[in-house]
Amino acid sequence: MNKKYKERLQEQILIVDDLPENVRLLSSLLKEQGYRVDCATDGQMALSIVKRECPDLILLDIMIPEMDGYQVCRHLKSAEKTRHIPIIFLSGLDSEFDKIEAFKVGGVDYITKPFFVEEVVFRVKAQLSLIQQRQKCQQVLSEQIAERKITEIELNKSRALLTGVLNSSLDGVAAFEAIRDRQGEIVDFRWLIANPVAAMTVGGTIETLKGKRLFVEGYPGHLFDGLFKSFVQVVETCTVLEQEYEYNSFSFKAWFHIVAVKLGDGFAMTFRDISDRKQTEITLQKANQRLTYQANIDSLTQIANRRRFDEYITQEWSRCARDKEYLSLILCDVDYFKAYNDTYGHQAGDNCLYEVAKGIERAVKRPADVAFRYGGEEFAIILPHTEAQGAIKVAEDIHQQIQGLKIPHVSSEVSNVVSLSLGVSSIIPTPDTRTSPHTLISTADDALYEAKLKGRNRVIYRLVEFS
């Protein structure tokens, strides 16, 4: 790991678990991520370390000596100094009661053992990210409150001083007075004051805006359409309006950051053009989406890759185990693909794999059924909530779909066009250690091997056998 990255991540995590192997695994894992790690094997030791070190996050087992994890959590949440520390319960207890109790005593998350290390890292990072965001929000809020207090003071100063301050501001600043009907309901707002930036932004001048109505009369390029109810709420409830607001008209498009606060029977507002920042954010978001896509999609076939296969089968295994539903897997090979490459060349081989991938996708119709390039000329299809007969039907559809492509293959020993051998297997996953995704993969692979032994160009189903 990059040295600068290690120095930057200095959050401290306390692991509380009485099993040494769990402590070693988690400690090693989190240290590799750049965190400082303390460990405790019982409740009293954990409280002593928290009192001394005040960690940023605690991974807490429930069944530990001295006092259980629930008691430790209650003790920490009852103390002013430690109640803010997020606690993730990490336990082998998997009942609904245990999970509810964990959240009742103040836990922020619950991970069931045996755990996936990637899941632990993700959830730890998520909680630490929330802490950082809260701190940033508190800092931003403090700064904004301070700015608003300064603004309110300035509004009460002499007109000459106020004019000087407003004229020097790079943000748009304006103040408005509420216009009410006979029943006392706000029907519009009247401009009281505007600095040059505000006047220029809405297409007017300081003199022409003063006394004009904000909504009813309307102005070309009016920026605040759609905010009337929000401004009324500021005045009537003394709430602070702060939002990023997109204005989009035929002639003008822009993003603004708007802050409005109650002022007398009206409100004062500042607004800033943040179009450049928003454009940067949108560009970064698209870049992140593109990177995520590239990380999960095979560049040649444009279907999901092996990395995504490993993630998805683990995810669906857990889901089907929880729902007690079947999970099916199809593994398939392009028959005599090496001979195809030798005969037609690697470029034609790449085109063949692309067409085969698209043919498989056409046969896989449900949103949850996903096709993957498993490796080389081998493909995989994961079918959640699908029993054996359904999986065999999908496999036969795939087989026919590829036959229907009629891609010539003069070097094949089983057909004059490109064909597939397919192995199929199904299982209802169990949450215990008798089975794992590898069990399903291995059985489907055995079925594929049998299909090849029996002459290829066929579908073979094999039942998962429990040892």
377 is catalytic: yes
Per residue, what are the HEC states of the chain?
A: CCHHHHHHCCCEEEEECCCHHHHHHHHHHHHHCCCEEEEECCHHHHHHHHHHHCCCEEEECCCCCCCCHHHHHHHHHHCCCCCCCCEEEEECCCCHHHHHHHHHCCCCEEEECCCCHHHHHHHHHHHHHHHHHHHHHHHHHHHHHHHHHHHHHHHCCCHHHHHHHHHHCCCEEEEEEEEECCCCCEEEEEEEEECHHHHHHCCCCHHHHCCCECCCCCCCCCCCCCCHHHHHHHHHHCCCEEEEEEEECCCCEEEEEEEEEECCCEEEEEEEECHHHHHHHHHHHHHHHHHHHHHHECCCCCCECHHHHHHHHHHHHHHHHHHCCCEEEEEEEECCHHHHHHHHCHHHHHHHHHHHHHHHHHHCCCCCCEEEEEECCEEEEEEECCCHHHHHHHHHHHHHHHHHHCCECCCCCCCCECCEEEEEEEECCCCCCCCCHHHHHHHHHHHHHHHHHCCCCCEEECCCCCC
- Give the pLDDT confidence score for residue 257 in this predicted structure: 86
Fold observed for domain 157-276:
Beta-Lactamase (3.30.450)
Q: Would you list the domain boundaries of the chain? A: 3-134, 157-276, 297-461
Output the CATH code of domain 297-461.
3.30.70.270
Q: Which of 11, 177, 377, 378 is catalytic?
A: 377
- Give the separation between CA 123 and CA 58, rounded to whole angstroms: 12
- Note the pLDDT of residue 217: 56
**What CATH number should be reported for the domain whose range is 3-134?**
3.40.50.2300
- pLDDT tens digit at each of 467 positions of the chain: 444 444 444 789 999 998 888 888 888 888 888 889 999 999 899 899 998 988 999 998 988 888 898 999 999 999 888 888 999 998 888 888 888 998 999 998 888 888 787 888 888 888 888 888 888 888 888 888 888 887 777 666 555 555 556 666 778 888 899 999 999 999 989 888 888 888 877 777 878 888 888 886 545 446 777 788 899 999 999 999 988 878 766 556 778 888 999 998 999 888 888 877 777 777 777 777 677 667 788 989 999 999 999 999 999 999 999 999 999 999 999 999 999 999 999 999 999 999 999 999 999 989 899 999 998 999 999 999 999 999 999 999 999 999 999 999 999 999 999 999 999 999 999 877 667 899 999 999 999 999 999 999 999 999 887 65
Q: Both ends of the chain: CA-CA distance in Å? A: 41
